[in-house]
């Protein structure tokens, strides 16, 4: 699912063996919305200042370009850009990466009272909201999303560092056929609640010392997941977590590494009224069946917001180990 809000001001387990894989025996199914910030040490052009960015735009710089070097300074963060410009004396050589190819442009910075500027808006990494799937109170490790976070090229973001923040839902855009809905969130505090350690195809993982309260329940193996009734835990208003009824329509082989291990349909009238079904931002909502944690919501069907996919918890924990 999609990451939704812009940048703010950012696994050891209790082990037993099951089918050759290491699992936590019990985990807390959370369902709480959080803010996520993933940084990748890449600085991307996302726009141009109308007044200051004329020279950069005329030189050939485009939105989506990754700035790799300015003169002899390697660029890994926005501060590197500012430092390189402060050290310049006139025109600068800006080296960028575009669709896998390296290009270089000669640009005359715009001079301001605060120093030279390229006049471009920059992005480093990705920020947004997601839902925490599980938390291990013994180790303080958690998992969220149930799928990876991709960069602008559609590839898995090579995260260098990241943070998780307490958040709440401000508004909901209700989903309808052909137009997925969205949760719009806000950070409760600018101070990170924890750190992120891995961005994988099966979820984003990290540690949070204070964590989330709740009753830990057993983790189910893939073989225990059945078609039929289940519930999900989600936050669709403020910071209140609620359980909603769903039905598992179909189960897919474990080998699917794309977060589509089961087809689920929302049947709860309260959730359908509030959101229209599964919406962007609900990624990671834990799925519980027969009192066990079986997986997490990952995707919504564009043409049917009441229906979407989930990942087996077994696959999430494999990636987190």
Q: Catalytic positions, please?
A: 147, 268, 283
Query: What's CA 81's distance to the chain center, in Å?
Result: 26
Identify the CA nearest to 206 among candidates 149, 144, 147.
144
- Residue 28's Cβ-count burial label (10 Å; 0-12, 13-18, 19+) is buried
Identify the CA nearest to 154 among candidates 283, 261, 2, 280.
2
Q: Rounded to 10 degrees, what is the CA torsion of 153, 47, 162, 1?
A: -50
Backbone phi, psi, residue 228, to 5°: 130, -160
Residue 46 CB-half CA count within 13 A: 14
- Gap between the Cα atoms of 96 and 64, Å rounded: 10
For residue 119, CA distances in Å to 8, 98, 112, 155, 246 come to 21, 19, 10, 28, 49
Specify the residue for token string 């050891």: 12
Cβ atoms within 10 A of the Cβ of 69, count?
A: 18
Backbone phi, psi, residue 146, to 5°: 80, 5
- Gap between the Cα atoms of 87 and 194, Å rounded: 36
């Amino acid at each position: 699912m999609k990451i939704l809000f812009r940048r703010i001001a950012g696994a050891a387990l209790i082990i037993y063996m099951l089918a050759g894989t290491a699992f936590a025996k019990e985990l807390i199914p959370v369902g709480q919305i959080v803010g996520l910030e993933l940084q990748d040490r890449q600085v991307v052009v996302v726009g141009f200042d109308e007044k200051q960015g004329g020279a950069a735009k005329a030189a050939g710089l485009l939105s989506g370009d990754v700035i790799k070097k300015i003169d002899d300074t390697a660029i890994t963060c926005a501060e590197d850009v500012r430092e390189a410009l402060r050290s310049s004396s006139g025109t600068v050589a800006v080296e960028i990466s575009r669709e896998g190819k390296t290009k270089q442009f000669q640009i005359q910075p715009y001079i301001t009272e605060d120093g030279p500027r390229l006049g471009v808006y920059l992005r480093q990494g990705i920020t947004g909201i997601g839902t925490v799937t599980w938390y291990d109170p013994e180790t303080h490790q958690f998992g969220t999303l149930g799928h990876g976070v991709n960069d602008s090229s559609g590839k898995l973001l090579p995260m260098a560092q990241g943070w998780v923040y307490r958040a709440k839902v401000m508004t909901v855009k209700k989903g309808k056929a052909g137009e997925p809905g969205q949760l719009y969130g806000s950070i409760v505090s600018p101070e990170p609640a924890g750190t992120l350690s891995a961005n994988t195809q099966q979820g984003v993982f990290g540690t949070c010392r204070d964590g989330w309260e709740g009753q830990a329940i057993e983790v189910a193996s893939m073989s225990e997941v059945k078609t039929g009734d289940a519930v999900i835990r989600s936050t669709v208003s403020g910071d209140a977590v609620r359980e909603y009824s769903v039905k598992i329509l179909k189960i897919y082989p474990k080998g699917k590494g794309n977060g589509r291990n089961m087809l689920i349909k929302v049947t709860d009238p309260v959730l359908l009224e509030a959101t229209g079904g599964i919406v962007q931002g609900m990624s990671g909502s834990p799925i519980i069946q027969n009192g066990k944690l079986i997986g997490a919501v990952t995707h919504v069907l564009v043409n049917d917001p009441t229906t979407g996919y989930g990942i087996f918890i077994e696959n999430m924990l494999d990636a987190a180990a």
